[in-house]
Amino acid sequence: HGQAGQPQGDLFTVNSPHVVYTDESITSSYVYRTTKVTKTPSGNLEATPFETKYDFKVERCIPKVGLMLVGWGGNNGSTVTAGIIANRKNLSWPTREGTQKANYYGSVLMSSTVKLGNDGITGDDVNVPFHKLLPMIHPNDLVLGGWDISSMNLADAMDRAQVLEPTLKLLVRKEMEQMKPLPSIYYPDFIASNQGDRADNVLPGGSARQEHLDKIRTDIRDFKLKNALDKVIVLWTANTERYADIIPGVNDTANNILTAIKAGHDEISPSSIFAAACILEGVPFINGSPQNTFVPGIISLAEIHKSYIGGDDFKSGQTKMKSALVDFLISAGIKLTSIASYNHLGNNDGKNLAEQKQFRSKEISKSNVVDDMVAANHILYAEGEHPDHTVVIKYMPAVGDHKRALDEYYGELFMGGRQTISIFNVCEDSLLASPLIIDLALVTEMMTRISWKNSSDDEYRNFHPVLSILSFMLKAPLTPPGTPVVNALAKQRNALCNIFRACVGLQPESDMTLEHKLL
């Protein structure tokens, strides 16, 4: 795979007068085709094909990238770290099912393919790894670091997590023993009180929010310097916090939140401090937990500083399934009338979610995930009508990281028939989340090297600081203010894939396959 500082060897090149390759970049002139719909005076809809021309530019040089995790010593943090080391060293280890090799299963970029086109001779589909669509960094090259309120080194943290096989742990233990999380921000009011006993690695100063913000900024700079990095990405995989109240004058605007941080205001959460520190450093910040880190003041701060943010809450198990299944049912014309979702889990995430305020953050993030699909089908659902939807989460220590997710989908079929679909999903939660952390980091980094312009612009510019392109990996996707949220899984994947295709001048794959259908 590509080396940092070098242009990556391309698996394919695009043969088109609209696509230009240089050592530094790939540029494409692209026609974006959409449809504008208006209502005529007689009440009919009129659909007008609409074209916009964009130029895209992709920097080809692969940077050396650091990924700093907040909550590095948690189940996800320790699992993704061990997984990357195992892949980097190409490890294999004995298990009771035989020899297991390191892989990146569960990463859409590393382990799924996209159709590039049709073979010129046979007409067969030609598929390429998603990762090869654009010159992306490789997860093996990520330099890992981060913070945790627990001082445990990463090897011990991996034992505490109880996720990986002992035979694998032995092989990565030495390296992980050397990894120690930096002290972090701990405001006990934001996470469950049952987390207090692991908080032995906290920044001094009580609620001295400005000092904490400055310290996190220094940590990021030091990490970058020490590891000779071109870029750093920060990702929150720490405990779920309670929601912060939105208080006018405190966290509603960029200026207010900076002033409130200076004043040490109680309602500014640790995750918002991390977000502000990253934005001020121009470092992308992704939130993998459900709380409202991105209060309006943080979003406007990101807009002002043109610094990338993305969130919220990894879409790993139950919700990923839901956003695929509900999309299928409703788009097949079946009227889903209720969704009942139960979870029980026994890891530290479950323990933290056992308290009401933290559970509430998760409940909110899990609740709105079918809204867009319901709203799109006005044949099945009247204005404002919704399927019943309940989410329950219980802490059951015995099941550890092997989270159980039980879902019942109940719906109405042809002529009053009823259908019940019941799903029982068991797997290690952290093995689902870890590849998402990798995808989030890789796509985010890629977005820092993509720019665009209108044909009339002189200069290329960035995408909107709120990276809704990350939606596939996130349960409650943050979108630029005033823009729609897409939860449907297939649409999210198409958006990611087709934006990347556009960057190398390829049209979206339409799946029409007319070449096989016409006589």
Question: Which residues are at the interface with ligand NAD (CB under 6 A)?
Answer: 70-71, 73-77, 147-150, 184-186, 191, 198, 237-240, 270, 288-289, 313-314, 316-317, 347-349, 352, 429-430, 432-433
**Nearer to ligand NAD (CB atom), residue 56 or residue 147:** 147
The terminus-to-terminus CA distance of the chain in angstroms comes to 43
Q: Nearest to residue 240, comparing CAs of 495, 476, 502?
A: 476
What is the smallest separation between the CB atom of 415 and ligand NAD, expressed in angstroms? 39
What is the smallest separation between the CB atom of 337 and ligand NAD, expressed in angstroms? 27
Active-site residue among 320, 362, 429, 439? 362
As separate numbers, helices (DSSP H) first and strands (DSSP E) second, the chain gives: 14, 17
**362 catalytically annotated:** yes
Active-site residue among 132, 315, 320, 475? 475
**322 catalytically annotated:** no
**Nearer to ligand NAD (CB atom), residue 237 or residue 451:** 237
- In whole angstroms, give the CA distance from residue 138 to residue 58: 16
User: Are the CB atoms for 222 and 342 separated by under 8 Å?
Assistant: no
> What does DSSP assign to residue 468?
G
Active-site residue among 312, 313, 349, 407? 313
What is the smallest separation between the CB atom of 147 and ligand NAD, expressed in angstroms? 5
- In whole angstroms, give the CA distance from residue 64 to residue 338: 47
**Nearer to ligand NAD (CB atom), residue 62 or residue 439:** 439
**Nearer to ligand NAD (CB atom), residue 281 or residue 429:** 429
Task: Estimate the share of the chain in helix, then strand, then coil, as percent rounded to the nearest 5.
Answer: 35, 25, 40
- Enumerate the H helices of 57-107 as residue ranges: 75-88
Our CA dihedral for 271, 272, 273, 275, rounded to 10 degrees, sits at 90
In the complex, residue closest to ligand NAD by CB = 74
- Enumerate the H helices of 123-239 as residue ranges: 154-161, 166-177, 209-226
Active-site residue among 327, 401, 403, 429? 403
**Nearer to ligand NAD (CB atom), residue 310 or residue 411:** 310
**313 catalytically annotated:** yes
The set of residues, in sequence order, having a beta carbon less than 8 Å from that of 120 and lying 6+ positions away, is: none
Instruction: Write the DSSP assignment of 155-188 as a string of letters.
Output: HHHHHHHT-S-HHHHHHHHHHHHT--PBPB---T
**Nearer to ligand NAD (CB atom), residue 163 or residue 497:** 163
**226 catalytically annotated:** no
What is the smallest separation between the CB atom of 55 and ligand NAD, expressed in angstroms? 37
What is the smallest separation between the CB atom of 110 and ligand NAD, expressed in angstroms? 18
What is the smallest separation between the CB atom of 312 and ligand NAD, expressed in angstroms? 9
Active site residues: 313, 362, 403, 475
